[in-house]
Amino acid sequence: MDTTLDDPLVGRVLDGRYRIDARIAAGGMATVYRALDTRLDRVLALKVMHPALAADHGFVDRFIREAKSVARLAHPNVVAVFDQGTDGGYVYLAMEYVSGCTLRDVLRERGALQPRAALDILEPVLAALGAAHRAGFVHRDMKPENVLIGDDGRVKVADFGLVRSVDTVTQTTGAVLGTVSYLAPEQIESGTADTRVDVYACGVVLYEMLTGTKPHTGGTPAQVLYQHLHADVPPPSATVPGLPAALDGLVAQAAARAPELRPYDAAALLGLVREARAGLSAAELDAVPPQARAEVRSSAEDRTGVIPRPVTSERQPVEHTSRLAAPLPPAPAAAPGGLAGRLPGGPSRRGLFLVLAGVLLALGIGTGVWYISSGQFTQVPHVLGKTEAQARKQLSAAGLGVKGVDRRFSSSFERGAVMGSDPAPGEQIRGNGSVTLVLSRGPEVVSVPNLKGKPLGAAKAMLTKEGLAPGMVTRTFDEDVPLGAVIRTDPAAGEKRAPDTAVALVVSKGRPVPVPGTVGQPVEQARADLERLGLKVELAAEQVHSPQPAGRVANQSVAANTQAVAGDTVTLTVSKGPRQVQVPDVTNQDVDSARRTLEGLGFKVKVERPLISFSNTVASQSVPANQPAPEGSTITIRTKGL
């Protein structure tokens, strides 16, 4: 990732702390350097705003907002921000340094990725964005350049430079910031940017990883913007035949032109990705894509910039423009993506077709007309109520393809069932045409099912079937609910929630078993007592010296009077009796000194004094000097009498 270039900042120390060692990359608003924090002696990345922009308070505020926003995330898949500051005309962020490459580097080198690799990259990206979305932030500039892949395989999302709080999203009147190839239609049309613009960009990135190409391309940025507005992202399998339908469905859902048809945030999309992955076989995940590499080029489509939006009133742009600032074109004669437009100065293509048909009829060319009206067309099969896979199979048998999938709420069709198509069932369509399937998202409001007593696996399946997402699982003891079954949910059973809402599950650890104390018992008796309670017993490999007699329990791995689960294992350590310790001679010592000596060797001490005695000197001891005695046994010392 490092590329040392001639640069006036290389070798300089910013803010008296950060020594800039190499230039890594340059973007539309900032340059990133590898630097050394001389105070903490650690390598980091320094993102320095271009001096020309540092004078613009709006850009500086956005730059500082990035630091504050990312610092709040603290997510393992987000590039951490350590510090923010200024040095003269330079405004900088000090960030975590990730040694590796960007996803753009990978795509340039390898082109299309295997589905497993694409999903392995997408999942941590969505985890990072999901954390941002749940924290109230929208990234607004997701693209392969902002996905870092470390040498250790970790995936991190970088460059929250355009981040904005969800609750402060506004509609800009004249311009929008972003990267042309990944802008959602609503960003282009109205400047609206909520969590679903990041979902759209991730759909485009997934398409690019699966195919090695972008879904929308053009000679100018304006042509690409036009396609975002008027053409669906095509299914990846149209470019890479053989890709599973589930991957086509993920791209269609994430990159739907209408934001209400997309998952509401990255966390919801992550759930769909994991669900789709679970349904793919190892062969499908590891299918080798064509070895054609992605087109290696750097264009305005890949750079973050300011793009003016079309306006219908006398609004003035509110942001600076860059070299991306080209006006959106009127509908061209042959719109990108094969859309029909109106010919300049003449009738529409449909009008020309009708004129041509009329000429054919007037000339009496009946055979040709029959071929146009019948031989080239087929009826769209009735696929209502079928699963997506069943519908695709039936359409394929009729010689038709699927160009996309829309998802809508329905109280009449089960979640995942086909509730409509475009063209509709029974309508005529060209024999090699494609159909858009409309799948049910289930009811707009879902009741949380009663899962008490259901095994965890079955409970998760029921939640998914109802259109909810299995959430965090915690475990606790329960006298009545069997081990591994659900005790309760949060939200509770019967409560209403939006589809894809996560439901937390509390699962039973079974009836608690009070563990008795067995220290000092014969081993076989201790084993019998524990096994009677449903616990398993193991003996430690080695016996130990202890105050307990040989053959008795010296220690147990689970403390007495604590709770365990039936089937848990308790390890017993067997005593081989106390150690024998040589008793020292403590006669003629004062009592306190003798006590300290004996207790220091592990003995207990008892002091006996004559009925009349004024002496504190030891006259005798119960165990003679230099004789062995069991560690922990009691030594009696006696003082002198009159």
- 56, 141, 286, 478: the catalytic one is 141
171, 173, 176, 182 alpha-carbon torsion, rounded to 10°: 60
Q: Are the C-beta atoms of 639 and 587 separated by less than 8 Å? A: no
What integer pLDDT is reported at residue 311 of this predicted model?
A: 41
234, 518, 532, 533, 567 from 512: Cα distances, Å: 56, 18, 14, 10, 11
What integer pLDDT is reported at residue 376 of this predicted model?
A: 53
What integer pLDDT is reported at residue 489 of this predicted model?
A: 94
Residue 103 Cα to chain centre, angstroms: 17
Per-residue pLDDT band for 304 (boundaries 50, 70, 90) equals: low
Asked whether the bond before 547 is cis by omega within 30 degrees of 0, the reply is: no
Per-residue pLDDT band for 302 (boundaries 50, 70, 90) equals: low
DSSP letter, residue 27: -
Nearest of 147, 98, 93, 94 to residue 118 by alpha carbon: 147
Nearest of 606, 538, 539, 601 to residue 568 by alpha carbon: 538
Per-residue pLDDT band for 169 (boundaries 50, 70, 90) equals: very low
CATH domain 447-457+465-508 topology? Trypsin Inhibitor V; Chain A (3.30.10)
Average pLDDT over residues 374-403: 83
Choose between 290 and 140: higher pLDDT: 140
What percentage of residues in the chain have a pLDDT greater than 70? Answer: 82
Domain with CATH 3.30.10.20 in the chain: 371-440, 447-457+465-508, 512-574, 580-639
Per-residue pLDDT band for 122 (boundaries 50, 70, 90) equals: very high
What integer pLDDT is reported at residue 159 of this predicted model?
A: 79
Per-residue pLDDT band for 164 (boundaries 50, 70, 90) equals: low
Coil, helix or strand at residue 338: helix
Average pLDDT over residues 306-315: 43
Q: N- to C-terminal Cα distance for the chain?
A: 93
What integer pLDDT is reported at residue 249 of this predicted model?
A: 93
Pairing of strands 401-408, 434-440: parallel
Of 165-169, 461-465, 480-484, least confident by mean pLDDT is 165-169
Residue 132 backbone phi and psi in degrees, to 5: -65, -45
Average pLDDT over residues 2-23: 82
Of 41-50, 187-196, 323-332, least confident by mean pLDDT is 323-332
**CA angle at residue 246 from 254 to 106, to 5 degrees?**
70
Mean pLDDT of the chain: 81
71: pLDDT strictly greater than 60: yes
CATH domain 100-311 topology? Transferase(Phosphotransferase); domain 1 (1.10.510)
Query: CA-to-CA distance for 326 and 226, rounded, in angstroms?
Result: 12
Domain at 512-574, CATH class: alpha beta
What integer pLDDT is reported at residue 214 of this predicted model?
A: 93
Per-residue pLDDT band for 458 (boundaries 50, 70, 90) equals: very high
364: pLDDT strictly greater than 70: no
141 is catalytic: yes
Residue 409 Cα to chain centre, angstroms: 26
Choose between 66 and 333: higher pLDDT: 66
Nearest of 462, 461, 508 to residue 481 by alpha carbon: 508
Query: CA-to-CA distance for 236 and 360, rounded, in angstroms?
Result: 39
Segment 198-211, tens digit of pLDDT: 999 999 999 999 99
54: pLDDT strictly greater than 80: no
465: pLDDT strictly greater than 60: yes
Per-residue pLDDT band for 177 (boundaries 50, 70, 90) equals: low
- Reported as half-sphere exposure (CB side, CA atoms, 13 A), residue 622 has a value of 13
Query: CA-to-CA distance for 211 and 214, rounded, in angstroms?
Result: 8
Segment 528-541, tens digit of pLDDT: 999 999 899 999 99
Nearest of 19, 28, 21 to residue 7 by alpha carbon: 21
Asked whether the bond before 443 is cis by omega within 30 degrees of 0, the reply is: no
Nearest of 454, 302, 323, 437 to residue 380 by alpha carbon: 437
Per-residue pLDDT band for 340 (boundaries 50, 70, 90) equals: low
Average pLDDT over residues 536-549: 92
Amino acid at 603: F
What percentage of residues in the chain have a pLDDT greater than 90? Answer: 45
Residue with tokens 């490999």: 541
Domain with CATH 3.30.200.20 in the chain: 1-97
Query: CA-to-CA distance for 29 and 304, rounded, in angstroms?
Result: 8
Domain at 1-97, CATH class: alpha beta
Choose between 299 and 393: higher pLDDT: 393
349: pLDDT strictly greater than 70: no
Average pLDDT over residues 11-40: 89
Of 66-70, 134-138, 219-223, 369-373, least confident by mean pLDDT is 369-373
Per-residue pLDDT band for 338 (boundaries 50, 70, 90) equals: very low
DSSP line for 175-205: EEEEEGGG--HHHHHH---SHHHHHHHHHHH
Domain at 580-639, CATH class: alpha beta
- Percent composition of the chain: helix, strand, coil (DSSP 3-state, to 5): 30, 25, 45
Domain with CATH 1.10.510.10 in the chain: 100-311
103: pLDDT strictly greater than 90: yes
Amino acid at 108: R
Amino acid at 171: Q
Per-residue pLDDT band for 178 (boundaries 50, 70, 90) equals: low
Domain at 371-440, CATH class: alpha beta
Average pLDDT over residues 242-261: 93
What integer pLDDT is reported at residue 303 of this predicted model?
A: 52
Average pLDDT over residues 173-190: 73
What is the side-by-side order of every strand in the sheet holding 486-490?
A: 469-476, 502-508, 486-490
**CA angle at residue 504 from 535 to 439, to 5 degrees?**
130
Per-residue pLDDT band for 128 (boundaries 50, 70, 90) equals: very high
